[in-house]
C-alpha cells in the first residue's frame, strides 16, 4: 500500500546539514496498522510528513497505492493527498467552528453542497460517537472528544490511509485506550491502512500489527510486533520494551531494586534482573519452577503480565534471580532452550 524507498530528508540546521531521515525503506501493507516508534528527535514526524509530501524528501520515493507521489504535479498531488488523512497530537481544530463544521471543512474545501456534506458528516459523527455534541465548540469538549473530531475530519474525504502522529500523546491512559479502540474499529470496518507514530511502546502493543523502530533518522529494526517483543535485537528496542516494565513497576519496588542491583554489581551478591518473554504454550508450562529446582535458585517475581498481541497470548515477567553465577547462566540457557526469550535487564532499571 505504501512503499518508502530509500527516503532521505536533509535539513539545513544551525550547525550544518542534518539528515532527519536517513535512507529509510519500508513497505506498509494494505489494511494493517503499522507503528513507528522511537525516542524524541528520532525522525518519526519527519518521516510521516514525507508520506503525504508535507515534507518533500531530499531523495527517495514514496509510492502510495501504486502512485509515486514524488513524481506528481501539484494538481495530481492534491488529488493523491485526499486519499491520505492525518491526525495530530494537538488536534489542530478550528476554535471558531463547531464539531460538525470542523468535520465538514475538508468537504467544503472539496466543493461539496450542504446536503452532500450532511450525508457524509452525519454518519461520521455516529462513527466517532459525537452526534450529541455536534453543535459544541472545541473549547467545550474534552481532549479525547477533540481527537474524535480530528479522526472524523481526517476520514471525511474517505481516505485509504490514515497517518497518526502522536495522536494519543496528550491524552490520559484511559482516553488513550478509547481512542486506540476507535482507530482499530475504523481499521477493521473501513479497511483503512493506518501508520501510527508514537514514543510509547504501550500504544504499539495495544493495536499495531507490525512496527519499525527509528533512531537518529534510521530504521534500526522492523517486523511483527509480537516477534520484536519476543526477541528485540537492537539495544534501543530493548530499552523501549524495558521502559514498559519500568513504568509498570511501583516506584518503591524500583528504588529497592536499584539499590540491590548496585550492591550486586559491586561484587557483594549475585542478583540479576531478567525479563522472560514467552508465547502460546510456554505460558502454561511450569518451566520457571523447574528451573528454580534444577539450578537451586531463588526467583522473585517483580512484575508479570499476560497480554494478547495479534491474538496470541504473550507473557512477560520481570524476575530477580539469586544464585551462583554459574547456576544462573545454566538456568537461563535451559529456559532459552525451552523457547523462553531471556534478557538481562540490569542496565535498563
Ligand atoms: N524543519 C526542520 N528544520 C531543521 N531541522 C529539523 C526540522 N524538522 C525536524 N528537524 C530535526 O530533525 C530531527 C528529527 O525530528 P522529528 O522528525 O521531529 O523527530 P521525532 O518526531 O521522532 O521526535 C530533529 O533533530 C529535529 O530537530
Ligand atoms: Mg514527532
* CATH code: domain of residue 206: 3.40.50.300
The full length of the chain comes to 349
Same domain, 72 and 16: yes
- Residues 226 and 235: their CA atoms lie apart, in Å, by 17
Same domain, 172 and 264: no
Same domain, 73 and 190: yes
Q: Is residue 151 part of a domain?
A: yes
- Residues 86 and 159: their CA atoms lie apart, in Å, by 9
Cell of 257: 531494586
> Residue 254 belongs to a domain with what CATH number?
3.30.70.260
From 11, 24, 212, 236, the mutation candidate for ligand 1 (largest count of ligand atoms within 8 A of CB) is 11
- The strand ranges marked E within the chain are 2-13, 16-28, 33-38, 59-64, 67-68, 84-88, 161-165, 193-198, 210-215, 218-224, 271-279, 298-309, 312-322, 341-344
Which residues are near ligand 1 (CB < 6 Å)?
A: 11, 13, 18, 20, 38, 40-46
- Residues 327 and 336: their CA atoms lie apart, in Å, by 14
- Residues 321 and 161: their CA atoms lie apart, in Å, by 46
Q: Is residue 236 part of a domain?
A: no
Same domain, 306 and 171: no
Same domain, 178 and 106: yes
Q: Is residue 235 part of a domain?
A: no
Task: Name the closest-CA residue to atom 27, ligand 1.
Answer: 41
Residues, CB-to-ion distance under 5 Å, ligand 2: 45
Same domain, 182 and 308: no
Final residue of a structural domain among 226, 257, 279: 226
Same domain, 177 and 214: yes
- Contact (Cβ atoms closer than 8 angstroms) between residue 65 and residue 29: no
Task: Return the closest-CA partner of residue 37 out of 275, 234, 304, 245.
Answer: 234
- Residues 163 and 110: their CA atoms lie apart, in Å, by 20
Q: Is residue 80 part of a domain?
A: yes
- Contact (Cβ atoms closer than 8 angstroms) between residue 30 and residue 205: no
Final residue of a structural domain among 226, 261, 296: 226
From 12, 38, 46, 214, the mutation candidate for ligand 1 (largest count of ligand atoms within 8 A of CB) is 46
Q: Is residue 242 part of a domain?
A: no
The closest-lying atom of ligand 1 relative to the alpha carbon of residue 39 is 22
Strand partners, 165: 88, 197
Same domain, 288 and 167: no
Same domain, 265 and 194: no
Q: How close is the Cα of 43 to the center of ligand 2, in Å?
A: 7
Q: Is residue 240 part of a domain?
A: no
Q: Is residue 241 part of a domain?
A: no
The closest-lying atom of ligand 1 relative to the alpha carbon of residue 20 is 12
Same domain, 171 and 100: yes
As for how many domains the chain has, the answer is: 2
CA dihedral sign, ordered 189, 185, 107, 1: negative
Domain range enclosing 136: 2-226
Largest CA distance in the chain: 77
Task: Name the closest-CA residue to atom 24, ligand 1.
Answer: 41
**Exposed / middle / buried, residue 228 (Cβ in 10 Å: 0-12, 13-18, 19+):** buried
Same domain, 220 and 268: no
pLDDT at residue number 268: 46
Q: How close is the Cα of 47 to the center of ligand 1, in Å?
A: 9
Q: Is residue 292 part of a domain?
A: yes
Same domain, 91 and 189: yes
Residues of the chain with confidence (pLDDT) below 70: 243-249, 264-269, 280-285, 310-311, 346-349
Amino acid at each position: 500500500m505504501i512503499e518508502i524507498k530509500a527516503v532521505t530528508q536533509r535539513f539545513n540546521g544551525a550547525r550544518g546539514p542534518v539528515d532527519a531521515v536517513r535512507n529509510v525503506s519500508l513497505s506498509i501493507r494494505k489494511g494493517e496498522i503499522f507503528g513507528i516508534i522511537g525516542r524524541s528527535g528520532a525522525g518519526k514526524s519527519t518521516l510521516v510528513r514525507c508520506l503525504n509530501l508535507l515534507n518533500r524528501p531530499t531523495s527517495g520515493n514514496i509510492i502510495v497505492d501504486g502512485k509515486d507521489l514524488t513524481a506528481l504535479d501539484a494538481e495530481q498531488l492534491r488529488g493523491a493527498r485526499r486519499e491520505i488523512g492525518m491526525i495530530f497530537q494537538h488536534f489542530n481544530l478550528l476554535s471558531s467552528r463547531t464539531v460538525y463544521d470542523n468535520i465538514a471543512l475538508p468537504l467544503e474545501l472539496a466543493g461539496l453542497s450542504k446536503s452532500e456534506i450532511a450525508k457524509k458528516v452525519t454518519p461520521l459523527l455516529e462513527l466517532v460517537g459525537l452526534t450529541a455534541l455536534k453543535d459544541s465548540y472545541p473549547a467545550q469538549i474534552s481532549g479525547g472528544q477533540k481527537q474524535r473530531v480530528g479522526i472524523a475530519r481526517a476520514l471525511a474525504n474517505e481516505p485509504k490511509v490514515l497517518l497518526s502522529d502522536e495522536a494519543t500523546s496528550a491524552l490520559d491512559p484511559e482516553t488513550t485506550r478509547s481512542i486506540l479502540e476507535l482507530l482499530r474499529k475504523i481499521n477493521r470496518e473501513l479497511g483503512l491502512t493506518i501508520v501510527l507514530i508514537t514514543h510509547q511502546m504501550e500504544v504499539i502493543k495495544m493495536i499495531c500489527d507490525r512496527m519499525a523502530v527509528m533512531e537518529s533518522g534510521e530504521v534500526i529494526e522492523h517486523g511483527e510486533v509480537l516477534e520484536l517483543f519476543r526477541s528485540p535485537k537492537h539495544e534501543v528496542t530493548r530499552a523501549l520494551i524495558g521502559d514498559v516494565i519500568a513504568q509498570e513497576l511501583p516506584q518503591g519496588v524500583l528504588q529497592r531494586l536499584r539499590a540491590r542491583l548496585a550492591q550486586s554489581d559491586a561484587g557483594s551478591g549475585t542478583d540479576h534482573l531478567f525479563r522472560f518473554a514467552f508465547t502460546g504454550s510456554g505460558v502454561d508450562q511450569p518451566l520457571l519452577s523447574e528451573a528454580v529446582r534444577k539450578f537451586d535458585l531463588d526467583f522473585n517475581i517483580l512484575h508479570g503480565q499476560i497480554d494478547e498481541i495479534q491474538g496470541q497470548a504473550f507473557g512477560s515477567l520481570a524476575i530477580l534471580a539469586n544464585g551462583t553465577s554459574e547456576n544462573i547462566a545454566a538456568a537461563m540457557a535451559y529456559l532459552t532452550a525451552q523457547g523462553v526469550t531471556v534478557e538481562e535487564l540490569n542496565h535498563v532499571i
